[in-house]
Amino acid sequence: MNAPFSPATTGNSAITEDSWQELASHTVARIALGRVGSSLPTRETLRFALAHAQARDAVHTPLELSALSASLQDLQLPSLQVRSAAPSRAAYLQRPDQGRRLHPDSRASLLAAGVEPCDVLFVVGDGLSARAVASHAVPLIAATLPLLQEQGLRVGPVVLATEARVALADEVGECLQAAMVVMLIGERPGLSSPDSLGVYLTSAPRVGCMDSQRNCISNVRPQGLPYPLAAYKLAWLIRAGRSSGTGVVLKDGSAAEAGWLHLQQQLALAAQQD
């Protein structure tokens, strides 16, 4: 079916705008681009090139560990730094298996750290978007901590990991004897979302855990799932997962609770006031 178009009404523009142009104001997705003849308008070609460059930068920009560590100190959270077995960014991208295991030196340092066992351990990994981690990891942890304190849970030091894949948190959690591990990691960037943060929750972490043993919360960022809702969902999964375990055995029911609906109403009201 051919998409409906209506002529542009401003100036002498040769751009034929989509009739649903007004919907574009409600999303960052690439919709209602318009056309010039049978081609995209120059403005959209340039926007595409910019989005592609931002996605590439997100993958290759290194994570600034010192800035993250300082922000965590403001939350009175100590941090440890580790790296995966991938010796370089190029190796990390070509060998996902290396990003899933700790470098031997990092494993030894964790085992020698003298950290007491904890209920919840946060691991912050650069993944495929250090920009996402730098922007959203600390605000999400800050929003989640009070909810975990209400549950009386012990939170361990935050582990900052470079060249990290999701499964790296399994080995980190095993080394530090965590009952549950939460991996905050930069997701694969899209052309409209180079800074999307993923959250992976795994109970009884250990080397060899399968993806079916995890629960995932994706697209955490102000333009996606806001921090308060992501924190509420994560705290709900942690509470439920303590008795049932995580993964396919744990179904997310957080959105059915009154607290979730109340948060949604608060966020909608705040958006209207802005």
| Burial class (CB within 10 angstroms; exposed 0-12, middle 13-18, buried 19+) of 86 | buried
pLDDT tens for each residue of 180-194: 999 999 998 777 788
Q: Which of 60-64, 71-75, 148-152, 226-230 has the lowest mean pLDDT?
A: 60-64
Which conformational region is residue 206 in: left (phi greater than 0), alpha (psi within -120 to 50 degrees), or beta? beta
The pLDDT value recorded for residue 16 is: 82
Kindly indicate the confidence band of residue 13, based on its pLDDT and cuts at 50, 70 and 90.
low
Q: Regarding predicted confidence, which is higher, 253 or 5?
A: 253
Q: Residue 11 pLDDT more than 80?
A: no
Kindly indicate the confidence band of residue 12, based on its pLDDT and cuts at 50, 70 and 90.
very low
Q: Regarding predicted confidence, which is higher, 39 or 125?
A: 125
Task: Read off the pLDDT of each residue in 60-83 and give the average, rounded to a whole number.
Answer: 93
User: What tokens appear for 112 in the block?
Assistant: 């020698």
Report the share of the chain in percent with pLDDT over 70.
93
Q: Which of 39-53, 73-87, 94-108 has the lowest mean pLDDT?
A: 39-53
Report the share of the chain in percent with pLDDT over 90.
71
Note whether 235 and 199 are within 8 A (CB): no
pLDDT tens for each residue of 174-226: 999 999 999 999 998 777 788 999 999 999 999 999 999 999 999 999 989 99
Kindly indicate the confidence band of residue 241, based on its pLDDT and cuts at 50, 70 and 90.
very high
The pLDDT value recorded for residue 190 is: 74
